[in-house]
Every structure is written in structure tokens, then in C-alpha cells.
Amino acid sequence: MKKTKITYWVLTGLFAFVMLGSAISDILIIPEAIQGFKEMGYPTYLIPFLGIAKLLGVVAMLVPGFPRLKEWAYAGLIFDLMGATYSVYSIGKPASDWTPMLVFLAVGMGSYVFYHKKSKAASSVETVNSGQVAQLVS
């Protein structure tokens, strides 16, 4: 359980750091974001919306509880990264521009997998503990 928790928090921390950095630059509408959106042919008015959505996703991912909200946050952040990776690839940018995003996708997916492993392990411990309490009461 301890290794699972450590792995979960390392991957989640890295993923949250990357997505938070992306969110802040989008919220602040930095010139590089505007240039990138124009190169891909996307409307620049989406930039702050995506930034706020990413920020909310990071918060939802880090706040304890709310498992359904976490599922949506992971989905949204992973879809954002997949879309960004595909978009950069599709406009003919060199692999050095889009392959690092595959690493971030892997980190995000690893965080998601270990989130479920951690949740499953925690519910197993709760089941065992409630079984012990039931035996003591009877």
C-alpha cells in the first residue's frame, strides 16, 4: 500500500505540475499560446477557457474525495493533452515538438492507474477493518 501511495503521489504531483503550468500560461494568455493556437488554426478566444478548465481539473484531481469529479478531471486533462499532441503533430511540427507531450500523457495515465490502485487498496483495508469490528461486536 505504501509503494502504491508514493507512486500515486509522485505521478500525480508531476502531472498536476505540468497541467498547472499549462493552465496558468493559458489563463494569462501568453504570446506563445496565442501563436500556437494561430498556427493550428484554432480561435484564440478558447485559450483562457481551456486554462480555467485545466486549473479546475488539477484542483479536482488533488482535492480528497469526490471520486466522480476526479474521473471527469482525469478524462478532461487527458483529452486536452491528446488533442494538443495530435494538433501539433497534424500541422507538421517536428517530433521534438510533440513527443514530450507523450511523456506527460504517460505520466497522467500512470497517475490515473495508481489512483484506482490506491482507492482499491484503501477500500480493502476498510472492509477488513469493518469485518474485525463486526467480529468484536458479535
Range of the domain at 71: 2-137
For residue range 12-68, list pLDDT tens digits in order.
Answer: 999 999 999 999 999 999 999 999 999 999 999 999 999 999 999 999 999 999 999
**DSSP letters along the chain, please?**
-HHHHHHHHHHHHHHHHHHHHHHHHHHTT-HHHHHHHHHHT--TTHHHHHHHHHHHHHHHHHSSS-HHHHHHHHHHHHHHHHHHHHHHHHTT--HHHHHHHHHHHHHHHHHHHHHHHHHHHHHHHHHHHHHHHHHHH-
pTM of the model: 0.84
- For the chain, the domain total comes to 1
